[in-house]
Amino acid sequence: MTVYQAAVRHARWMAGSLLVAVMFVLVIDRFFGHSTIAFAAAIIGLIAANRRMLSYNCPVCGKNLFFRGMFVIPWPNKVCGKCGTALNEG
């Protein structure tokens, strides 16, 4: 598996986690009333789930696949934005 494919899997996993987090907050809200704790727990869960994101780096220059300059995009680069390495090959 290439680093790009691994990063795509992570991006999908994060999309699923986000959905679960939103559902969690909505369900708690519906049955127990508005809860700041549920919201905080969802945010902490997402941050924890997203920690792996930092390990998807270009094998040549080490630039993170999810960073576009100073911005973070929830989908990985196919081509390294810094050194131009094709991350979807090999």
Binding site for Zn ion (CB under 5 A): 58, 60-61, 63, 80, 82-83, 85
Burial 71-82 (b: 16+ CB within 10 A, else e): eeeeebbeebee
**Shorter beta-carbon distance to Zn ion: residue 19 or 83:** 83
Smallest gap from residue 63 Cβ to Zn ion (A): 5
In degrees, rounded to 5, the angle at the alpha carbon of residue 8 between the alpha carbons of residues 42 and 17 is 15
DSSP letters, 6-41, are HHHHHHHHHHHHHHHHHHHHHHHHHHH---HHHHHH
**Shorter beta-carbon distance to Zn ion: residue 16 or 62:** 62
Smallest gap from residue 82 Cβ to Zn ion (A): 5
**Shorter beta-carbon distance to Zn ion: residue 15 or 61:** 61
**Shorter beta-carbon distance to Zn ion: residue 43 or 86:** 86
Smallest gap from residue 85 Cβ to Zn ion (A): 5
